[in-house]
Amino acid sequence: MLVRNTRFGDLDVSEEQIITFPKGMIGFERVERYVLVNPTDKISWLQAVDDASLAFPLVQAPLVYPGYSLYVENELLEPLGEVDEAMMGIYLVLVVPGDPRNATVNLKAPVVISLKSRRGMQLLIDRPEYSVRHRIMPAEKGA
């Protein structure tokens, strides 16, 4: 099937490549079907199948926050179906402004994708050390 979108040109994807978010993304609860664009790159995109302009840039958590941990009970991961840790990706949503050096990630709301069940969900982790706007590059001194 063809996934139309405003960023990458039409994407030809098979049904098996679709990742279902049964609860959507927070604030976008009704959008359930996504594809992961550039999954092996440092930054991939979670592109909505049914909304051409809706896409979230994601970065693998360990790349920007070594030792990042979910701190959740296994019961909370039930929407993902059968969970195989080796086939589970933990991503952080990136906010990339015009100057990418000021990019931030949201440590309180990671996106977890099970490649085995092709399901994903956005978790909420309310820990004081996790900022919703964590800079991934140090602020430049004097700038």
Partner 1 sequence: MLVLARKVDESLMIGDDVEVKILSIDGDTVRIGVQAPRSVVILRGELYAQVAEENRSATGAASDDVDRLSSML
The residue assigned the tokens 């309180």 is: 108
CB–CB of 79/112 below 8 Å? Answer: no
Site for partner 1 in 30-49 (CB under 8 A): 41-43, 45
* Binder among 35, 49, 109, 121 for partner 1 (CB under 8 A): 109
Query: Which residue from 44, 92, 99 is spatially nearest to 65, judged by alpha carbons?
Result: 92
- Residue closer to partner 1 by CB (options 126, 129) is 126
Q: Which is nearer to partner 1, 14 or 67 (CB)?
A: 67
Q: Counting Cβ atoms within 10 Å, is residue 140 exposed (0-12), middle (13-18) or buried (19+)?
A: exposed
19 contributes a contact to partner 1 by CB under 8 A: no
Of the candidate spans 14-22, 80-88, 96-104, 112-120, the one that interacts with partner 1 by CB under 8 A turns out to be: 96-104
CB 57 within 8 A of CB 45: yes
Q: Is 55 in the site for partner 1 (CB under 8 A)?
A: yes
Q: Residue 86 or residue 139: which is nearer to partner 1 going by CB?
A: 139
Whichever of 84 and 133 has its CB closer to partner 1, that residue is: 133
Phi-psi sector, 111: left (phi>0), alpha (psi -120 to 50), beta: beta
Residue choice 66, 97, 128, 142 for contact with partner 1 (CB under 8 A): 97
Q: How far apart are CA 37 and CA 23, in angstroms?
A: 20
C-alpha distances in Å from residue 124, one per residue of 12, 21, 70, 110, 130: 32, 15, 9, 7, 11
Binding site for partner 1 (CB under 8 A): 7-8, 25-28, 41-43, 45, 53-57, 59, 63-64, 73, 75-76, 78, 93-98, 100-101, 103, 106, 108-109, 122, 124, 126, 132-133, 136-137
